[in-house]
Amino acid sequence: MKLRLATPGPTEVPQRLLLAGAREIVHHRSAEMEALIDEINAGLPPLFGTGSPVYTIASSGTGAMEAAVANCFSPGEEVLIVSNGYFGERFQAISRAYGLTAHVVESPWGTSISPREVADAHARHPGIRGVLVVYSETSTGALNDVRAIGEIFRDTDAIVVVDAISGLLVHPVEMDAWGLDVVLGASHKGFMLPPGLAFIALSDKAWTAVERSAGPNYYWSFQRLRQFYPMSSSSPAVSLLLGLHESLKMLGEEGLDAFRERHAGLGRAAERALVALGFSTFIQPPHRRSNVITAALAPEGIDTGTLLKTLSVKYGVTVTGGQAHLKGKLLRIGHVGAADALDLCAVFGALEMALLDCGHRFTPGTGTGEIVRTVHEGEN
């Protein structure tokens, strides 16, 4: 049985990138690796919309989130957390673990945070040193307006820290133009690679915060990253860097505009197909939907836990369900990275068969038909 991965991360890794990462290991201080890292370091900043260096570390995305908190703030300082899902809550947990005073701007899961509410919270807490926000909240599929949030804090001393781990590449990120100070990414989303690399870009204002911070750090130290740049401050994940080098080539060949349009088209197709099968769109206007995943509430009588197990065990397809209070209710179909329309047709074909197995009644071909119609409309 062929296995298919349709999650918000990790994503399916194209064979071209798998083969690049399967090359013989080279020493991380060799001339060959130095040349490769130079090309990587030149290729990353335009993807973040910055003229500043982008640092690469061997870590998950959560490691980058923790590194940002550990380096930019001191125990006892106040921060503002923008939270509308699971990963906003993770920023809260990390901040409290480092002894920060966290003020939270919260909205229900499935909604986008209003920038006006963020500005109002800043007025109530003028002493904050930073605001931490998730761009694409993969627990729900909601997209936050980090551009507007960056504008709120551009002329203040507070830095804007953005978890763009899933949103990067799929959606525009213009770090310098939008007034963002720390932007975080990871390898296992739009870069189409296995997990294990994280990316960190910092503005001049962020460096001021780093230099002021009294928080403890060593492996996570941004100062060490800058000291050793352009090389790594510690032993890097060599095989993943070989894959990243090839990933940047693939992204350049497709072009960012085409990459983003492909993801937008897959998002439209998946949403229409789920609605046609009796699901309810989770992100409703005026809230903004991410093109990383499509999230929908299951039809009455369908437990998504059972549906996910049927998809995985019987059909080899892995998709994700709801987290926390949405467990058993929400379905999240990832279409980030190398996914295309034919991949989506295969996923929805399996989904239809699993729904029939679970007792849901509909006309077979309803969902896959919507995929074909939507994609065909977009191409014409």
My answer on whether 224 and 259 are in the same domain is no
| pLDDT at site 113 | 96
User: What is the DSSP code (8-state) at residue 171?
Assistant: B
Average model confidence (pLDDT) across the chain: 96
Instruction: Identify whether 4 is part of a domain.
Output: no
| pLDDT at site 211 | 96
| pLDDT at site 324 | 86
My answer on whether 35 and 160 are in the same domain is yes
DSSP letters for 236-277: --HHHHHHHHHHHHHHHHH-HHHHHHHHHHHHHHHHHHHHHT
* CATH code, domain with 241: 3.40.640.10
What are residue 317's DSSP bridge partners?
4
Where does the pLDDT of residue 1 fall: very low under 50, low under 70, confident under 90, or very high at 90 and above?
confident
Peptide bond into 115 cis (omega under 30): no
Give the model confidence (pLDDT) of 222-256 as tens digits: 999 999 999 888 889 999 999 999 999 999 999 99
| pLDDT at site 220 | 93
| pLDDT at site 74 | 96
**What H or E segment, with its residue span, contains residue 306?**
helix 304-315
My answer on whether 241 and 276 are in the same domain is no
Instruction: Identify whether 10 is part of a domain.
Output: no
Instruction: Identify whether 368 is part of a domain.
Output: yes
Residue 364 has pLDDT above 80, yes or no: yes
Residue with tokens 């990253």: 225
My answer on whether 184 and 214 are in the same domain is yes
My answer on whether 248 and 267 are in the same domain is no
My answer on whether 141 and 182 are in the same domain is yes
* Inter-axis angle of helices 146-153 and 115-124, nearest 10: 30
My answer on whether 305 and 365 are in the same domain is yes
Calculate what percentage of the chain has a pLDDT beyond 90.
Answer: 92
What mean pLDDT do residues 331-342 have? 96
| pLDDT at site 29 | 83
Give the model confidence (pLDDT) of 101-129 as tens digits: 999 999 999 999 999 999 999 999 999 99
Could you give the number of structural domains in the chain? Answer: 2
State the binding site for substrate. Answer: 332
* CATH code, domain with 371: 3.90.1150.10
- State the Rg of the chain over Cα: 21
User: What is the DSSP code (8-state) at residue 283?
Assistant: S
My answer on whether 211 and 287 are in the same domain is no
| pLDDT at site 378 | 78
- Reduced to 3 states, what is the DSSP secondary structure of residue 226? helix
Kindly report the length of the chain: 380
Give the model confidence (pLDDT) of 139-185 as tens digits: 999 999 999 999 999 999 999 999 999 999 999 999 999 999 999 99
| pLDDT at site 380 | 60
Residue 74 lies in domain:
15-253
Instruction: Identify whether 2 is part of a domain.
Output: no
State the binding site. Answer: 332
Instruction: Identify whether 357 is part of a domain.
Output: yes
**What H or E segment, with its residue span, contains residue 369?**
helix 366-379
Q: What is the dihedral of CA 145, 119, 67, 78, to 10 degrees?
A: -160
Q: Which of 232, 253, 274 is the last residue of a domain?
A: 253
pTM comes to 0.95
My answer on whether 238 and 280 are in the same domain is no
Which amino acid belongs to residue 210? V
Peptide bond into 126 cis (omega under 30): no
Q: Which of 207, 227, 253 is the last residue of a domain?
A: 253
**What H or E segment, with its residue span, contains residue 78?**
strand 78-83
CB atoms within 10 A of CB 258: 11
My answer on whether 333 and 191 are in the same domain is no
| pLDDT at site 215 | 81
My answer on whether 159 and 207 are in the same domain is yes
My answer on whether 167 and 299 are in the same domain is no
Q: Which of 253, 284, 309 is the last residue of a domain?
A: 253
Calculate what percentage of the chain has a pLDDT beyond 70.
Answer: 99
| Calpha distance 378→380 (Å, rounded) | 5
Where does the pLDDT of residue 27 fall: very low under 50, low under 70, confident under 90, or very high at 90 and above?
confident
